[in-house]
Amino acid sequence: MLAGKKIIFGLSLLHVTEEQNIPEVHDVFNAIELPGIFLNREYEKLQSLPQEVFFNDVLPIGLTREIALQDQRIQENFLTELALLLDRASNVGASGIVVDFEIESCFADTVRGNATDSLLKRLSADLLRTELRLLLPIRFPFNPEAEGSSEKYLDCLKKMMSPQIGFVLNVYPHELAGRELDLKKLLHWIRFDTDLIRFIYEPETGNRLVPRLLKPWLQLVHDFELDVPLMAAPFFEQRETVEYELLILNDLFINLTTEQEKEYENAETWRKC
């Protein structure tokens, strides 16, 4: 499969509710994702988390997808609130936050595209000050607006002119099962600007992450020499689901890590021969 850098595995706890405590996460998970609601309570407690931390759903998606077209007063209030959340995330040592501005809608709509660029440029100073990454979600398989390529996403990113903005790739692996895809070709344009890869699935409906779904992505990370977390992002409604899923994912990622280490040792042995 691959040899070289150690793969970073992560776990999304996006669907943990505000009333629930963060479950104990096994050592195999080097990164976790938390919902933005955790920034609105005693967020200082999150400073003890050993993993790299990302926050998602920090503001309502109905707001973030339309804010660029709102009047200046509403935008100022939005930027003030987002700056506060950036400060809190920075205080607990987070790496980044995910905010969905639906950038696909900017591809063919020049007015919306210019308004979104202008809004995000006004956020640049806060991103630099907090040293946080703002991650814009990309669905994979791509939404129709992308026309089967990641190039338009890179074009949008260039217009924003901010080194603190990147992408999170939301992969729906069960939609890709059985399809022959050249991931390197499809994702070539965003390989340097992707900070996180999430695998979204629904274990309560019988979907599971299995090695055959993940190995092409392990190879992609190796080929692109990416140092980004591969994050399991199960959607669940029952608390028991996440506890059971933690055990399954722990075994899966341990086995994949062991396999990777063996391949690395074999490669080193051949190199020395």
10-residue mean pLDDT series, the chain (273 residues): 72 84 84 90 68 94 97 97 95 94 96 96 96 97 95 96 96 91 96 97 93 94 93 88 90 90 67 61
Helix (H, G, I), strand (E, B) or coil at 171: strand
Q: What is the pLDDT of residue 50?
A: 74
Query: What is d(CA 182, CA 187) in angstroms, rounded to the nearest whole number?
Result: 9
Ramachandran angles phi, psi of 138, nearest 5° = -125, 125
CB 52 within 8 A of CB 229: yes
Say if strands 96-98 and 165-171 run parallel, antiparallel, or are unpaired. unpaired
Torsional sign, CA 28, 141, 194, 237: negative
As a dihedral over the C-alpha atoms of residue 207, residue 210, residue 213, residue 218, rounded to 10 degrees, the angle is: 140
Q: Residue 109's pLDDT is what?
A: 96
Domain holding 51: CATH number?
A: 3.20.20.150
CA 42/CA 253 separation, integer angstroms:
31
Residue 2 lies in a domain: no
Phi and psi of 54, rounded to 5°? -125, 150
Would you say residue 61 lies in a domain?
yes
Give 56's strand partners: 35
3-state secondary structure of 79: helix
In a domain, 3, yes or no: no
Overall domain count for the chain:
1
Rounded to the nearest angstrom, the gap between the alpha carbon of residue 61 and the centroid of all alpha carbons in its chain is 16
In a domain, 232, yes or no: yes
User: Does residue 43 lie within any of the structural domains?
Assistant: yes
* Helix, coil or strand: residue 24: coil
Whether residue 102 is contained in a domain is answered as yes
pLDDT at position 47 is 67
Tell me which residue range forms the domain holding 215: 8-272
In a domain, 1, yes or no: no
Gap between the Cα atoms of 4 and 1, Å rounded: 11
What residues have CB less than 8 Å from 252, skipping those under 6 apart?
A: 209, 210, 211, 214
Amino acid letter, 52: E
| CA dihedral (89, 18, 235, 59) positive or negative | negative
Residue 254 lies in a domain: yes
Burial of 6 (0-12, 13-18, 19+ CB in 10 A): exposed
Beta-strand pair 52-56/133-140: unpaired
Q: Which residue carries 């992609």 as its tokens?
A: 220
Residue (of 214, 213, 210, 201) closest to 242 by Cα position? 201
State pTM to two decimals.
0.92
